[in-house]
Copies of this chain bind each other. A is one copy, B any other.
Amino acid sequence: MAVYTDISEDQLADFIRRYDVGTVLSFKGIAEGVENSNFLLVTDRQPLILTLYEKRVDPNDLPFFIGLMEHLAARGISCPTPIRDIDGTALGTLAGKPAAMVSFLQGMSVRKPRREHCAAVGEALARLHIAAADFPLKRKNALSVAGWTELVKAVADRADTVSPGLRQTILDEVMALGQAWPFGLPGGVIHADLFPDNVFFLGERLSGVIDFYFACNDMFAYDLAICINAWCFEPDFALNVTKAKALLDGYHRVRTLAPEEIAALPLLARGAALRFLLTRLYDWLSVPPGALVTPKNPLEYLAKLRFHRSAADASAYGFTA
């Protein structure tokens, strides 16, 4: 849920004037996205999403994010399409902050994904990887192995207050994964945050993918490993092998996984679990006591991490090439 900036009617009118989108009929803050303020803007021609980039987004990254959405949309990926202004620029300024308008996507995110949803997500992820292959800009993954060290420094001392022994587990994992991390796998642009919140469905048909604000260059199989963590565990944190198999099969149907990618899946899934454990722990420890917004429980990812550590190979996820 996120509306951090109040927009006055004059500010909106000044902004909209630069775009050929029609007359504004409605403007409402929406509870979507965590890093930015998002508004639904309905004109006499179309509904649009207006995003205001708040301080957690580096303005230097915006050409990458906006360019990527434009690139993917042009290649038939159903994702928000940036709207260009009369000068051909998609990135504007509103209330003193970077802002952009994108097309409105139909569909709803699912709270309880089923096998069919997981299969569709696998396919969509592979299509996204392929469609982004010729995207010219690059962005480093700030939340991969090298970035973990910074997070560990920030959270390690207080980790045991969340769960006894968590500090040592984290230090051991960072060490082990740092040594074993498979850097040479096929890669390109990855979404890096393809959680159920960020995928829309109409029934079982995947109707769109949103929120490209963690997208970066990294290994494709790592993106898939993030999706295993995000889509294939049950509320009791047990892996649902049927869903994992559907996700991996869906991906493999569209983009064939190489043997070394398949072999690396347990390790990559472990790394992805550690990445979300660390960022959730950071958020958990950063929130002032008594705050009205409760961050997500980091321990969910400790349970997932343990599962991945026990996985001998991709068959633990129901996958056989």
Contacts and interface: CB of A to CB of B under 8 A. Distances in A.
Given A8-B111, A288-B289, A290-B290, 16 more contacts: A1-B29, A6-B111, A24-B108, A25-B202, A26-B200, A28-B30, A28-B31, A28-B40, A30-B30, A31-B31, A40-B40, A42-B47, A287-B292, A288-B291, A291-B291, A292-B293
A3 interface: yes
A107 interface: yes
B290 A9 contact: no
A110 B202 CA distance: 34
B1 A108 contact: no
A235 to B, nearest CB: 11
Given A32-B28, A106-B25, A9 B291 contact: no
A67 to B, nearest CB: 26
Nearest to A203: B23
30 contacts: A1-B1, A1-B3, A1-B31, A7-B111, A8-B112, A9-B110, A9-B111, A10-B112, A12-B108, A24-B108, A25-B106, A25-B107, A25-B202, A26-B104, A26-B106, A26-B108, A27-B108, A28-B40, A29-B30, A29-B31, A30-B30, A30-B31, A30-B40, A288-B289, A288-B291, A288-B292, A291-B292, A292-B292, A292-B293, A293-B293
Interface in A142-168: none
**8 closest A-B pairs (Cβ-Cβ)?**
A288-B290, A29-B31, A8-B111, A3-B31, A25-B106, A27-B108, A292-B293, A291-B292
A30 B47 CA distance: 15
Interface of A: 1, 3, 6-10, 12, 24-32, 40, 42, 47, 104, 106-108, 110-112, 200, 202, 287-293
A25 B8 CA distance: 29
